[in-house]
Amino acid sequence: MRLVLRHAAKLDLAEARRWYEERQPRLGQEFIASVDAALALIREFPLIAPKVDPRVRRAGTKRFPYGIFYIIDGQTIRVLAVLRNGRSSFWWQGRMKED
């Protein structure tokens, strides 16, 4: 399957990486590696994560308290958001129609 990160999800990743790098050198890189591992798992097993909405699934990351919100659209996985746990669980809803 093809995996596509929406622009807003890319911004989420950049913001989180920057935040972790400010806390500790290389921690931002470790965060990105953790997200990349989760994305690889999602690509291989798209149905692995539970649904949080009729179309949206949420996968977690190891070590970092973040969720990856995505939809399966035919043969494409579209990542809507990468958000810190504890943020409103409906934060991603505004991104459903973005391209």
Chain segment 14-60, per-residue pLDDT in tens: 999 999 999 999 999 999 999 999 999 999 999 999 999 999 999 99
Query: What is the sign of the dihedral through the CA atoms of 25, 3, 57 and 80?
Result: positive
Asked if 82 and 35 touch (Cβ cutoff 8 Å), the reply is yes
Rounded distance between C-alpha atoms, residue 48 and residue 41, angstroms: 8
Domain ranges of the chain: 2-95
Residue 40, H or E segment: helix 27-44
Which CATH number fits the domain 2-95, given the four candidates 3.40.1190.10, 3.30.2310.20, 1.10.10.1100, 3.40.50.300? 3.30.2310.20
pLDDT tens, position by position, 64-82: 999 999 999 999 999 999 9
